[in-house]
Amino acid sequence: MENKLILDGNVVANHVKVQLKGKIAELKLSGVQPCLATILVGDDPSSETYVKMKGNACEKLGIISKRIHLSKDIATEELLKTIAELNEDPAVHGILLQHPVPGHIDERQAFEAIAIEKDVDGVTSLGFGQTAFGFGEYPSCTPAAILEIMDYYKLGADGLHAVVVGRSPILGKPVSALLLNRNATVTTCHSHTRNLPQILQQADIVIAAVGKPNFIKGEWIKEGAIILDAGYNKGNIGDVEYVSCHQKAFAITPVPGGVGPVTISMLLKHTVQAAEKARKKKEDANSQFVTI
Amino acid sequence: MENKLILDGNVVANHVKVQLKGKIAELKLSGVQPCLATILVGDDPSSETYVKMKGNACEKLGIISKRIHLSKDIATEELLKTIAELNEDPAVHGILLQHPVPGHIDERQAFEAIAIEKDVDGVTSLGFGQTAFGFGEYPSCTPAAILEIMDYYKLGADGLHAVVVGRSPILGKPVSALLLNRNATVTTCHSHTRNLPQILQQADIVIAAVGKPNFIKGEWIKEGAIILDAGYNKGNIGDVEYVSCHQKAFAITPVPGGVGPVTISMLLKHTVQAAEKARKKKEDANSQFVTI
């Protein structure tokens, strides 16, 4: 009972942020101010809160937060125009379009319009394909957070059976792809899965990405499993029934304080990486100019 | 024993080709000659055979086969230049770069250079991402063939457990993605999978994509499973040990005469679809011009 490993997301997030601070300082010394542009469409209160949290996390670390707030009535074309401008703006290194946008807007088209080198939130199909093929730069942030936690706590995946519950484009699908690339055997489950408890019984690694509070029960879990709960439901409740799952697990993330804080730090990390790449590209272009 | 469903790839391929003939005739009436460009680099005999087979299949159906044969010594840049020219050429609707290219060439970079609207062989990471997100036009041809066979024989996947053995970018990964989009629970296995027989015992659908002759044994198969063998090894041998697996299966593809012939017909189908899209685009552009 006492040897449980509690995967503390705040510790991991702080570790990441400390590393980022050094990189941000270097970037600034070389004249580059890393900058994340966030686009919020409409006035959904939780979306407003999320965007504000992300912007504040940027500023706290020294990343410029360029906050764009568009009216809920805009047409898809206007959103595409905003994205195109940000794609072109050399001062912007990352673009985040807060999901969901109002229903009349073609959200997928808007996501796809984000330039791959600024897709730090990992929402484009190109970014997903590159991630699945093993050369993606910025996987979407929650899957990246899950791997960051595993790395921090030195939890390998090679040869283990990972069961991912959920198949969304920003969570279930990319985390399945990332674990597959780490040589896990990966089963992706969802609402049509017939025998979820039996499948979970085989899982060495459980990824909960359903969006249903306390959905995954301890009795479904194999003794000694690693459980990462990416669920975040109203009232700070995860997808995993914590008390019963905790009893079975070798390692488990709490909610809150698990995957959540690391997710935001992945957004910051990707933005800094994008700024570093932009700087390198500029330097390479300059040095080429000199030699000519 | 007698109620086995033998999934006959030749029947499915012929069915597809009959449909395509009508579409090709229509295209030609409207002045469009569907055209697939194939690029062969070097003189590997089996690659030469494959490319020839594909070109001949095109011509037999009335699709123009533009065959480009490059020397084994060319640099990646020359290959990229060839691809760029084909991307620009309005008479070319599909581009196939025969895998593998000689080792000194960056094959991935070459694949990625193929324009998405001409990627009829489904090799780009963008095409894969779009397929995984459910809006891809041309999944890679063997996965597309597997689904085509399932459709022809009215074999559903919804709620079934599909086990895919193999994780290559053109086979295991995309077929996993396609089956997931059809609401199967999907497990992707590979060389690091520890307990393959136990996992296969749970499979309602088995996809063999390993490239090892007779690798999958009948004793591993659940009674009543659907088995699709995408393996194609020397001597016309599949990845599935046919006699023992046939005994257990409800439905099974033979090798040869299973997935193989349908794969080529998917290449033809995608090329025709690409030609139809190109025609539509041209017509839309023309009608726009008229109204102005």
Residue of A nearest to B168 (CA): A133
State yes or no: pLDDT of A148 exceeds 80. Answer: yes
Q: Where in chain B is the domain with CATH 3.40.50.720?
A: 141-260
Reported CATH class of domain B32-115: alpha beta
User: Is A202 a known active-site residue?
Assistant: no
Q: Which CATH number fits domain A31-115: 2.70.170.10, 3.40.50.10860, 3.40.50.920, 1.10.1040.10?
A: 3.40.50.10860
Give residue for tokens 């060839």.
Answer: B82
State yes or no: pLDDT of B274 exceeds 90. Answer: yes
Task: Read off the pLDDT band of B2 (50, 70, 90).
Answer: low
pLDDT (tens digit, 9 = 90+) per residue, B138-186?
Answer: 999 999 999 999 999 999 999 999 999 999 999 999 999 999 999 999 9
pLDDT (tens digit, 9 = 90+) per residue, B189-227?
Answer: 999 999 999 999 999 999 999 999 999 999 999 999 999
- B54: helix, coil or strand? helix
- When CB atoms are compared, the residue of A177, A185, A195 closest to B187 is A185
Residue A263 has, within 13 A of its CA and on its CB side, a CA count of: 24
pLDDT (tens digit, 9 = 90+) per residue, A178-202?
Answer: 999 999 999 999 999 999 999 999 9
In this prediction the ipTM stands at 0.96
State yes or no: pLDDT of A1 exceeds 60. Answer: no
pLDDT (tens digit, 9 = 90+) per residue, A233-286?
Answer: 988 899 999 999 999 999 999 999 999 999 999 999 999 999 999 999 988 988
Task: State how far the alpha carbon of A41 is from the alpha carbons of A47, A79, B149, in Å.
Answer: 9, 9, 44
Of residues A203 and B284, more confidently modeled = A203
B40: left (phi > 0), else alpha (psi -120 to 50), else beta?
beta
Chain B residues closer than 8 Å to A125 by CB: 126, 129-130, 132-133, 135
Q: Which of A8, A17, A66, A121 is catalytic?
A: A121
- Give yes or no for a contact between A207 and A164, defined as CB atoms under 8 angstroms apart: yes
User: How many Å apart are CA B12 and CA B91, to the nearest integer?
Assistant: 29
Counts of helices then strands in chain A (DSSP H, E) = 10, 9
Q: Where in chain A is the domain with CATH 3.40.50.10860?
A: 31-115
Provide the H-helix boundaries in chain B.
9-29, 45-61, 76-88, 107-112, 125-132, 141-152, 172-181, 196-200, 242-248, 259-291
User: How many Å apart are CA B21 and CA B178, to the nearest integer?
Assistant: 26
Fold for A141-260, please state it. Rossmann fold (3.40.50)
Task: Read off the pLDDT band of B288 (50, 70, 90).
Answer: confident
User: Is A277 a known active-site residue?
Assistant: no
- Give yes or no for a contact between B137 and B271, defined as CB atoms under 8 angstroms apart: no
Low-confidence winner among B107-111, B219-223, B280-284 (lowest mean pLDDT):
B280-284
pLDDT of residue A291: 57
**Mean pLDDT, rounded, for A86-113:** 98
pLDDT of residue A285: 87
Interface of chain B against chain A, CB under 8 Å?
A: 108, 124-130, 132-133, 135, 158-159, 161, 167, 169, 173, 176-177, 180, 183-190, 192-195, 199
Chain A residues closer than 8 Å to B192 by CB: 158-159, 183-185
Chain A residues closer than 8 Å to B128 by CB: 129, 132-133
Distance of CA B88 to the CA centre of its chain: 24
User: How many Å apart are CA B255 and CA B238, to the nearest integer?
Assistant: 5
